[in-house]
Copies of this chain bind each other. A is one copy, B any other.
Amino acid sequence: METARGAERQPSAARSRRRELLEAADRVVLRDGPKASMNAIAAEAGITKPILYRHFGDKGGLYRALAKRHTDALLSALRAALDAPADRRKRVESTLDTYLAAIEARPQVYRFLMHPSDSPAGTATPAEQGFDVGRHSAPLLRRLGEELGQVIAERVDLGPDSEQTARIWGHGIVGMMHAAGDWWLGDRPCSRERLVSSLADLLWGRLAAAGDLQGGPGF
């Protein structure tokens, strides 16, 4: 049976082809943003659609592969910031800044990653009525949240049930970072440093510490 040998003939060829395709996809996403079409990506790669489908199954597959690349890159950068030898406040600030610098540098890629553009579930099978409630948010945020939660659980002493608290905080902090970053990217109302320090202040409990102002409720 030479089929097995033939199938595993040149795995590096397929791998490198895949890399080429992903880089082409990267380029067109960088150019067209989240509305990059399969046709456009194929054209950029110098081939036609069916090949993309042979490699990635469907658009979601390509999306996942692309997202994994960028998420991995971003995550390793964030890990580095998180692991810097400094006090906790500095590490938090540096992590926030790393994230914001990343989305500032390549907003198109960032937008693409946050836009899963719906799963193609409702195509052939009309019986696919089981709607998966929840789970709509970009996988990137989920992963970041999980990872951050793990880091917090490893490093910070949170008393009983710390595992769960850490997960909650991980997702919460990532969401804070994301939403603030997204807003900031649109209006650019202040410098990055300002944003970073304000968010760190928020996490540092300045909301709890601040005094009331005139005209409060029940007044």
Give residues in A with beta carbon < 8 Å to B.
Answer: 32-35, 82-86, 88-89, 91, 107-108, 111, 114-115, 117-118, 122, 131, 133-137, 141-142, 145, 152, 154-158, 164-165, 167-169, 171-180, 182-187, 189-190, 194-195, 198-199, 201-213, 215-218
Which residues of chain B are within 8 angstroms of A215 by Cβ–Cβ distance? 154-155
A58 to chain B minimum Cβ distance, whole angstroms, is 16
The majority secondary structure among interface residues of chain A is helix
Please measure, in the bound complex, the distance between the C-alpha atom of A194 and the C-alpha atom of B160, giving whole angstroms: 13
Contact (Cβ within 8 A) B180 A178 = no
Contact (Cβ within 8 A) B134 A217 = no
Which residues of chain B are within 8 angstroms of A204 by Cβ–Cβ distance? 205, 207-208
Contact (Cβ within 8 A) B213 A154 = yes
Which residues of chain B are within 8 angstroms of A179 by Cβ–Cβ distance? 137, 141, 145, 171-172, 174-176, 178-179
Contact (Cβ within 8 A) B134 A107 = yes
- A114-B133 contact, Cβ under 8 Å, with A85-B218, A145-B183, A175-B180: no
Which residues of chain B are within 8 angstroms of A190 by Cβ–Cβ distance? 164, 168
Contact (Cβ within 8 A) A155 B212 = yes
Q: How many copies does the complex hold?
A: 2
Please measure, in the bound complex, the distance between the C-alpha atom of A172 and the C-alpha atom of B21, giving whole angstroms: 36
Contact (Cβ within 8 A) A183 B122 = no
Please measure, in the bound complex, the distance between the C-alpha atom of A136 and the C-alpha atom of B85, giving whole angstroms: 36
Q: Given B156, B213, B217, which contacts A212 in the complex, CB threshold below 8 Å?
A: B156
A178 to chain B minimum Cβ distance, whole angstroms, is 6
Please measure, in the bound complex, the distance between the C-alpha atom of A99 and the C-alpha atom of B165, giving whole angstroms: 19
A83 to chain B minimum Cβ distance, whole angstroms, is 5
- A131-B158 contact, Cβ under 8 Å, with A180-B168, A208-B205, A218-B85: no
- A217-B107 contact, Cβ under 8 Å, with A133-B185, A183-B145, A195-B168: no
A155 to chain B minimum Cβ distance, whole angstroms, is 5
- A84-B217 contact, Cβ under 8 Å, with A155-B212, A190-B164, A198-B165: yes
Which residues of chain B are within 8 angstroms of A157 by Cβ–Cβ distance? 210-213
